[in-house]
Chains A and B, each alone.
Chain A
Amino acid sequence: MKLLLALIVGLLYGAGTYLILRRSLVKVIFGLIFLGHAANLLIFTIGRLTKGAPAFVPPGAVSLSEPYADPLPQALILTAIVIGFGVQAFAIVLFKRAYQSVGTDDLDKMRSTDTV
């Protein structure tokens, strides 16, 4: 399972990096989304995969007994997903607006702010 997730994380990072280097706005958006997912899955995998051991303190005990599934990475991911959702939604609207006002989705044609 760990190996599979590691491969998926690598695949998402590779695909995301490839896509944000493309000239088309739509592909850049997908690249950003992939990179966000890759980071989330990376945290999930790094937080150690423990099956069937929820982080509940058993009756009578004062602390958790090993092994248990660490809930903190999942809390981090949840927060990151929500933030990522909002930011990506904004980016999609911005890119649509750019397509409308510049009249193209080719990033190579959006250089007016970079020229001397």
Chain B
Amino acid sequence: MNLHQIVILPVVLPLFCAAMMLLFWKAAAAHRIINLIGSMLSLLVSGMLLAGVRAHGILTLAIGGWPAPFGVVMVADLFSALMVVITAVVAFATALYSMGSMDPGREKYLYYPLLQFLLMGINGAFLTGDIFNLYVWFEVMLIASFVLLALGGERGQIEGAIKYVTLNLLSSAIFLAAAGMLYGIAGTLNMADLARMIPALGQKQLLTVVAVLFMIAFGVKAAVFPLFFWLPASYHTPPAAVSAVFAGLLTKVGVYALIRFFTTIFVHDTGFTHTLLLASALLTMLTGVLGAAAQNDFRKILSFHIISQIGYMILGLALFTPLAIAGAIFYILHHIIVKTNLFFVSGVVARMKGSYKLKEIGGVYAAHPLLGLLFLIPALSLAGIPPLSGFWAKFLVIKAGLDLGDYLAVGVALVVGLLTLFSMSKIWNEVFWKEDPRGEGGHAGPEYRPDNPAQKRLVLAPVVLLAAITVIIGLYAGPFFELARQAAAQLLDSSGYIHAVLGVR
């Protein structure tokens, strides 16, 4: 097989798995097995892709043999390949967690095929080199996420889904309009072709308008200030496995698109666009962390922390130095693992104690000290305590800010880190440390599931796996940083990207 054909595999594999599952219609046992095998194969395929990109540079595949910029082209540079690998890790963890926790009703009504379609959309968005194709992948991802969010039809889910669906459709309409306007100006939608043409185009003001439209469209998906309201309204409503995969991956697709567009394509007026991003990043960090401080629900606190952490990534992009972009990429990798894991832990606690509300639960540490440790690893990593992965992620972004002398950004980043620690210790105190208000072994609410050793192993295995990855990234940060640095260097040097896709400099 041609090396370049690996690029399409992370998209085709989930499609194939989903199609296989649909052949079995509602036989959930078959779905589980195919989902598990599929997610393992995804790990393999994404690993091959990353190895291929590291060995041979940027890989491209012109779909249907139509050469770029006339046809749709799939492109895997180091950043895309890293995102695909991390998606596969989350998909594998979620496959295990879902097998241990998903209720039979949802499994029967095509939960696993939807999960695979979601992964197909996410991988497609990471790998495409064409803006309209990116729009299509966003829609594939969105429609799968709509159904996953609403599947089960509980009242909270439906209410959350309305806000999620409405704001995401609005963002898609803006994205579509921006893509159309860009085609009107530049006459192409191929990202490499745009990167080549935009410096030579006139109409800088109009381009900036289009850039800001894209910023708003992706800003909604990435949940940056002031466009994040759909996230805390919806992410705590579906089952824990679904919120975990959403929390880990979906907003990061928006961040990926922002980084891709504002390093490769729209760098004609960084004074305006990146200052706007900087202001938005700082406000995102602050509103997210302050919003979390007000919440009293395990998953709502975590949801608001997604927003504040997105701020750090956008801050890395906005500072726009090689170190800052590398920091942002490192931050994304660290954050996806940690945030997915925290949602898994919240689900495990809810299974034991029957609720996500801090007031109704407690005493988890006394009963299950190991689970306490498994919570502390991602929680402290999120807050940026050394030697865990979050420390290096924050360190890189803050170091980039110090190098530029942007002390306001550095100050905000440090304060937000402190407030994150406050929120995590609040969860620790309420959920793990204080006595259970219902007494030893007590439980409240509909989330309770009786103890079942087989299920317990399946829900704890991914928590342990992701916690181990967090510790490894923390202790051996060097190789991961080196990957992020190379990915950032590729992003900032668009001539390599243009050459790989179009064959010209």
Interface residues of A, Cβ cutoff 8 Å to B: 16, 20, 25, 28, 32, 35-36, 38-40, 42-43, 46-48, 72-73, 76, 79-80, 83, 86-88, 90-91, 94-95, 97-98, 101-102, 107, 110-114, 116
Contact = CB atoms under 8 A, between A and B. Distances in A.
Nearest to B178: A39
B162 A110 contact: yes
B155 A94 contact: no
28 contacts: A32-B166, A32-B169, A32-B170, A35-B169, A35-B170, A38-B177, A39-B176, A43-B180, A46-B184, A47-B184, A76-B180, A87-B146, A90-B143, A91-B165, A91-B166, A94-B158, A94-B165, A97-B150, A97-B153, A98-B161, A102-B155, A102-B159, A110-B159, A112-B155, A113-B156, A113-B163, A113-B233, A113-B234
B155 A42 contact: no
Nearest to A110: B159
B173 A35 contact: yes
B273 interface: no
A40 B143 CA distance: 19
B179 interface: yes
A97 B154 CA distance: 10
B170 A76 contact: no
Contacts of B132: 76, 79
Given A42-B180, A46-B184, A91-B165, A98 B294 contact: no
Rank and list the top 6 A-B pairs by shortest CB-CB distance, nearest first. A43-B180, A46-B184, A35-B173, A39-B176, A39-B177, A110-B159
B146 A90 contact: yes
Given A47-B184, A110-B159, 10 more contacts: A32-B173, A35-B169, A43-B184, A46-B183, A76-B183, A90-B143, A91-B169, A98-B159, A112-B156, A114-B232
Nearest to B291: A116
A95 B169 contact: no
A39 B234 contact: no
Given A20-B170, A39-B176, A113-B237, A94 B139 contact: no
A39 B153 contact: no
Given A47-B183, A113-B237, A102 B158 contact: yes
A38 B136 contact: no
Contacts of A43: 176-177, 179-180, 183-184
Contacts of B162: 25, 94-95, 98, 107, 110
B296 A101 contact: no
B236 interface: yes
Q: B interface, by DSSP: helix, strand, loop or mixed?
A: helix
Contacts of B172: 87
A36 B172 CA distance: 9
Contacts of B237: 113
B465 to A, nearest CB: 30
A113 B238 CA distance: 11
A20 B172 CA distance: 14
B502 interface: no
A40 B180 CA distance: 8
A94 B183 contact: no
Which secondary structure dominates where chain A touches chain B? helix
A91 to B, nearest CB: 5
B181 A46 contact: yes
A23 to B, nearest CB: 12
A32 B176 CA distance: 13
B147 interface: yes
B180 A116 contact: no
Nearest to B294: A116
A50 to B, nearest CB: 13
B79 to A, nearest CB: 26
Contacts of A116: 294-296
Given A86-B143, A94-B146, A102-B155, A73 B180 contact: yes
Contacts of A94: 146, 150, 158, 161-162, 165
Contacts of B173: 16, 32, 35-36, 38-39
Contacts of B163: 113
Contact of B183 (A36, A73, A102): A73
Contacts of A87: 139, 142-143, 146, 169, 172
Contact of A112 (B153, B159, B161): B159
B401 interface: no
Determine which residue in A25, A39, A91, A101 has the highest number of CB atoms from chain B within 10 A of its CB, and name it.
A39
Contacts of A111: 159
Nearest to B172: A87
Contacts of B139: 83, 87
B160 interface: yes
A23 B45 CA distance: 47
A79 B180 CA distance: 13
A38 to B, nearest CB: 7
A36 B168 CA distance: 12
A73 B132 CA distance: 10
